[in-house]
Amino acid sequence: MSVNFKDIAKIPNLISLFRLSLLIPLFYLLNDLEGNRTEVIALILVAFLSDLSDGYIARKTKQITDLGKLLDPLGDKIFVVVLIIKFYQTDHVDALYFWVILLRDVLIFIGGIIIRTRVKKVLPSNLLGKITIFSIGCFFLSILFGVPVGSLAYNIMYYLSISLSILSVIGYAIRAVETINWYSKNENS
């Protein structure tokens, strides 16, 4: 994978950069979630739609680039990290949830660097990873929409996203080891 910064001007990459720029107002608006709830929800929905559209446009216009393969998941991870930090700082999530989600993203990011260094490939997300991010997103939305802490809906989303986060790290680690072993075996053949 070789990142070509001339690819910044491609529409899907501009959309990814736009999504990253939404973090600036979001970061400040989250300081007063109660007063800015509508704006925060709107920004997150715009970010979600941009996340869906950049990949779709890249595939449809054949503008898939290594830069885009880097920007898209990096944007997703940064978005989750910013949200989890702000939710923790404002007491919307407890320490357990904060550390599980934060460590999940950090471990997968570090794992991605190791795999990239060892085999020159990016390990793509799989169905479990996508379901996990969806469950985290649903939990974040439950916070934003004011689902009462301790309610059945809140607890289901809380524990489901924690469980899936742990399983996704284990699954990613297994896939990473298998990928490195496969490349090591085939490289030496």
Mean pLDDT taken over the chain: 88
Residue 133: both structure tokens together: 């991010």
| pTM of the full structure | 0.83
User: Number of helices and strands (H, E) in the chain?
Assistant: 7, 0
Residue 70 has pLDDT above 80, yes or no: no
pLDDT tier for residue 4 given thresholds of 50, 70 and 90: low
Predicted pLDDT at 136: 93
**Residue-by-residue DSSP string for 27-49:** HHHGGGHHHHHHHHHHHHHHHHH
Residue 74 has pLDDT above 90, yes or no: no
DSSP state for residue 121 in the 8-state scheme:
-
pLDDT in tens, 95-152: 999 999 999 999 988 988 888 888 887 777 788 988 998 899 899 999 999 999 999 9
Rounded to an integer, what distance in angstroms lies between the CA atom of residue 122 and that of residue 125?
Answer: 9
Rounded to an integer, what distance in angstroms lies between the CA atom of residue 149 and that of residue 43?
Answer: 23
pLDDT tier for residue 170 given thresholds of 50, 70 and 90: very high
In terms of pLDDT, which residue wins out, 30 or 167? Answer: 167
Does residue 120 come out as left (phi exceeding 0), alpha (psi in the -120 to 50 range) or beta? left
Predicted pLDDT at 43: 93
